[in-house]
Amino acid sequence: MTAGPTGAADPGGAPHPAFTVDPFTDGCRTVWDRREHALLGVSPGNGYFNVALLTRLLGWLCAEFARVDVVVPDSALVHTYLALGYEPQRARRKARGETNVLRNRVDRAWRAGGGPREGDGLHRMSDLAAHPVYRERLAEAERALREDDALAGTCAEMSREVLRARGHTGPPAPERVERATRYLAAELPFFLASADIFDVPSSLNFYHQPLPLAELLYAGKSVLQPPPWQGYATIRPAPADPRPD
């Protein structure tokens, strides 16, 4: 279902580097075809989101979509540090420092590419936590994690991987996994309702590699069901064009 490389020229005529888009379902393809809104969630501690890549990606997103919003998961990251055994005050301090660095990196990259445009936005997750739609969907997600074995199992395995990637050795205790899973719970409202949170007709969420949690939701294998105006896709840099000898 890969859409293939797409690119668009900026006002000066230079094409933005192409990216390959792979909508997960036919419904997700419809959302991609509409190109009304893209939500970019950036992951703290992920070396993929460097300034060069972000500059290319944000320039391409702005050329393709009517509106782009970026979310930095500052408040959610606290749960990861608590799961790693940090004391609460130190966990908040570590999360704040790491996400400030990431937010500044996104800001530099976006401005280097000529954006953001009027209507685009760069947000900390904590700034959106009081939004009524976000709060409703978060409560729904927390209930589902208690009742939906497939959802809980997927989130638990992803959380174990995060803890391992951040240096935890050996099988993490169940209470650590449960705490780490709250990071993913905080992200679930955006997969379910980013269109409503940002007041747009349709919204495409994406990541640069397969994301088990999103694929579970969009495959209809969870009690949580995204509406038709929500979409999910894998978007990654297109392979470089082969050059003639």
Residues involved in catalysis: 43
Q: How far is CA 235 from CA 32, 150, 167, 208, 213, in A?
A: 11, 25, 28, 5, 16
* Cβ-contact 221, 9 below 8 angstroms: no
Q: Longest Cα pair distance anywhere in the chain, in angstroms? A: 59
* Cβ-contact 3, 22 below 8 angstroms: yes
Give me 178's structure tokens: 């449960």
Residue 224's SS3 state is coil
Contacts of 1 (CB under 8 A, 6+ apart): 22, 23, 24, 25, 26, 29
The CA distance from 58 to 223, in Å, is: 33
- The DSSP code for 15 is B
The number of residues in the chain equals: 245
Q: What angle do CA 101, 103, 108 make, to 5 degrees?
A: 95
Give me 57's structure tokens: 């990606």
Peptide bond into 189 cis (omega under 30): no
Which residue is associated with the tokens 């990251």? Answer: 77
